[in-house]
Structure 1
């Protein structure tokens, strides 16, 4: 009790004062009788005194999702995988590890086969007939999905459709009576500092409510090509995945999806899919079970300040630089060329490269879209027809794609051709699986590179102590050094014998076009 009292006292003592309180706390001279000082009206409260009425209204529409999955036997090999493999450093890596360890049957050693696996997550009802939204990773691979309502009613769920690129899934349940629902709000109106509520099923405890604020907007956590997460400090833990993030009006402005945590618990860094990204995906899944996305057919890269300067583009690095307009694709047919900088697409400003894939994907297939590009030192407006993203396409329309495997780029003036590290180049030059950098595919006889002992199969790891991972990055670094009138470039080269620094003379470029 003493600890609670101390905490309460400290809280009261440090509570921020409102504007009227500050006025009362300052000594003020008495106003003259003939000129009374007007009293400013108190500002309206931006936050309710309690979230209880809001939570009471919203809780019935948030559900617990329970899944069962049959795992194939893997024998008794000690190296048999125990759990889904998440990318290193992924927010889900530790989640998977903790979950599988906690759910291993008693007496079962690591490596022994497991027959059944259970997991839990969250979701919310958007249609009274029984339409439920959640994360794809909550139900991925499940043989059986059950939705548990707030009153503990359990309903068997049917999977309508999923979308891995945005990690969304839509379920359908059948109920004898209309179910309580919530509606999507406008996530674009959410500002950093706005109050939010997260409701879900953390750690299997059932409906729980946490509050916080919007910590940041437009976060990219490398979860997919359309990353645009809302970051919040509202406590989000395992089991909250798929649950809603509400504004104070009770509208869903996000879908809680990921956390960053060294321990698996909440440290106040959670991420939610914005409702404006989710609405279109959910509507398409609900209608047809799949998502049709717009596609341009371009490889793009970030416009750095140096690139902007070289192109005469005012305002610094902005837009998306077209490294390659794929032959026969919508962009090429509409007049987009290699080296164009896309500044505006269908009325949307493209401030950063990663905004373009999302805007294109959300554009209905068949739309005739105006595109503003920077070319030859001025803005030009083109019109193209958005096509549908091919099913086999690995990167989304407008998404930054890796150069074609083994495609070589000539570094003019150095006598080198380089290519990205890919399965093809790994096999061709017997590179290690963990090889990083850019691989040299050809060295011109008599060139500066040949004189320094470079040969095909060597890796360029750094240029002037800057890490490089694509041929375009090497090209950008060399271009920067030439603009600085540097006589040579210092390359960190890796061979089978180790790493070494190699200075190469920067001969004038003998031509060469835009990357692509």
Structure 2
């Protein structure tokens, strides 16, 4: 019994010792694990402080991205300019109202009091607009759109990266293609852009449009050529490159550029339901721009040939109509201008022109373009159907503005006052035989008034558009040069008398004498 008690006590002591050892071991392991975790946490908190091995990040030197657009932009953008135009709009009143005294009981006077501070004419207003252009010659010649500078009384050009503005003059315009050439004079070495051959452009090619949309100078957008030879959205001689590069108001006149850095178009128009970009823009091809530019800098205008036939594209190329007239293809003539080359060649309304110089005529352009591009005075060979019989004739090409004077706008595309600035608010041009016929003064000598500026000395004297000045102070005027010479010799305060011929009521010729004293500012 005593031995059993001793064994039990020994067993209990051993268990107690083992328990103590186990507890001690557990505490040691716990301390070690806590130290490791604590060390890791401390290392994490100590990042960036002295003693760490981490490397700080640095901003590297810039590396040029592989971007062909940037090279093109750097090549062309310096030659792209911003064009700001101003057109002074005068509120005009009749001479009768100007001569009447103030009448508080006049109902019209009440209207003027309400809306114009009592002034029937109101203050002059300036209409300002913005566009773009591209320098194509170091002498300062710039290509742009006619609608950018049309009717402008002041044109100012801002070069890329330059805050100065340079006054530009109009070299010439072409309303049929909506192109214009202007020029600035500066001693700076001007950058230029090279015009390429737009005939080589393919649908799907990348292009860049550069310009000043909404006045934001040197804006570049990218897109592709969406279509070529797009017609039916502008004038007869406009065939466009279509692009989805963003073109907005202010882009007009700026270049459309291919990835070789050549200008392949002049941005001209957009189709949109609002005033902004919707992915449908149009540029006049560079091949057209080159032809127009060369004619303008050479002769100040664009000459196109014509034989004097008129037609409506859709009706004149209708297959059913052509079949009924016995023609497999062609263009049906609707009318022939009186006295035109076509009339002299024997053509009549109802004839179907089937070829020009041996080339088939299947569209209106097939008929118009080769004649328009022919030299004035040259002959074209025409094949035509009449009464189901094929016939041939030759016609002599004449200047289109002579054949169709009523559709020419400004005769031969010339600008008013092309010979110099307006004196007395008068813009005059040469009185050609055709102009004489148009205003009913055939066989007369003088210069024709093409514009009378509002609130000018000329308007006060009673001049009107279409008047013919035949004498100044009893000196015959036979040309613009005679006119300039006569007015340049006058001083402020001198008496001046104009002999004026004016057609009235269709068949009456009036001879008027308009007189006054030369104002201090001869431009007014």
Shift of 1:238: 0.6
Residue 393 (str. 1) matches residue 402 (str. 2): no
Q: Structure 1 344/128 Cα, relative in aligned 2: closer, same or farther at 3 Å?
A: farther
Please name the residue that 2:132 is paired with.
122
Counterpart for residue 257 of structure 2:
246
Kindly state the Cα deviation for residue 112 of structure 1 after the two structures are TM-superposed. Answer: 7.6
- With over 3 angstroms needed to count, the CA separation of the structure-2 counterparts of 1:308 and 1:123, relative to structure 1, is same
Q: Which residue of 2 aligns with 1:305?
A: 319
Provide the C-alpha distance between the structure 1 equivalents of 2:270 and 2:298, rounded to a whole number of angstroms: 30
CA 1:219–1:280: 2 relative to 1, 3 Å? same
Structure 1: state its 5+ residue gaps.
Answer: 1-47, 76-110, 397-516
> Residues 348 and 393 of structure 1: is their aligned pair in 2 closer, same or farther, counting only changes over 3 Å?
farther
SS in 2 for 1:394: helix
Tell me if structure 2 keeps the 8 A contact 1:225–1:357: no
Does structure 1 conserve the Cα–Cα contact (< 8 Å) formed by 2:135 and 2:193?
yes
Deviation of 1:185 (Å): 2.4
The answer for unaligned runs of 5 or more in structure 2 is: 1-65, 94-120, 409-524
Q: Over residues 331-388 of structure 1, what are the superposed CA-to-partner deviations in whole Å (9 max), with x where a residue is unaligned?
A: 2223434333223334655332255334432322112222333445465543321011
Query: Is 1:362 paired with 2:373?
Result: yes
Partner SS for 1:52: helix
> Does residue 174 in structure 1 map to residue 185 in structure 2?
yes
Native 8 Å contact 1:225 1:395 kept in 2: no
> What is the CA–CA distance in structure 2 between the aligned matches of 1:294 and 1:214, rounded to whole Å?
31
In 2, Cα distance between equivalents of 1:195 and 1:347: 37
Partners of 2:354 and 2:211 lie apart in 1 by 40
Kindly tell me: are residues 395 and 312 of structure 1, through their superposed partners in 2, closer, same or farther at Cα, counting changes over 3 Å? same
Alignment of 1:2-401 (within 5 A): 50-73=68-91, 115-152=125-162, 153-301=164-312, 302-314=316-328, 318-346=329-357, 349-375=360-386, 377=388, 380-391=391-402, 393-395=405-407
Task: Give the match's secondary structure for 1:390.
Answer: helix
Contact persistence 2:210–2:220 (CA under 8 A): yes
Of Structure 1 and Structure 2, the greater helix share is in: 2
Distance in 1 separating the partners of 2:70 and 2:360 = 40
Q: How many residues align?
A: 311
Q: Structure 1: which 4+ aligned runs deviate by more than 4 Å? A: 111-114, 346-349, 375-381
Partner residue in 1 for 2:17: none
CA shift, 1:239, in A, is: 0.2
- Higher alpha-carbon Rg: 2
SS at match of 2:73: helix
Q: SS at the partner of 2:311?
A: strand
Task: State the TM-score, normalizing by the size of structure 1.
Answer: 0.56
Given the superposition, is the C-alpha separation of residues 346 and 55 from structure 1 closer, same or farther in structure 2, using an over 3 Å criterion? farther
Residue 443 of structure 1 aligns with which residue? Answer: none
RMSD of aligned Cα (Å):
2.5
Q: How far has the Cα of 1:243 moved from its partner?
A: 0.9
Distance 1:71 1:49, change over 3 A: same
Q: Tell me if structure 2 keeps the 8 A contact 1:121–1:240.
A: yes
Deviations 1:429-478 (A, max 9, x none): xxxxxxxxxxxxxxxxxxxxxxxxxxxxxxxxxxxxxxxxxxxxxxxxxx
Q: Which residues of 2 match residues 443-454 of structure 1 at below 5 A? A: none
Quick one: distance in 1 between partners of 2:295 and 2:358? 23
CA shift for structure 1 position 114 = 5.5
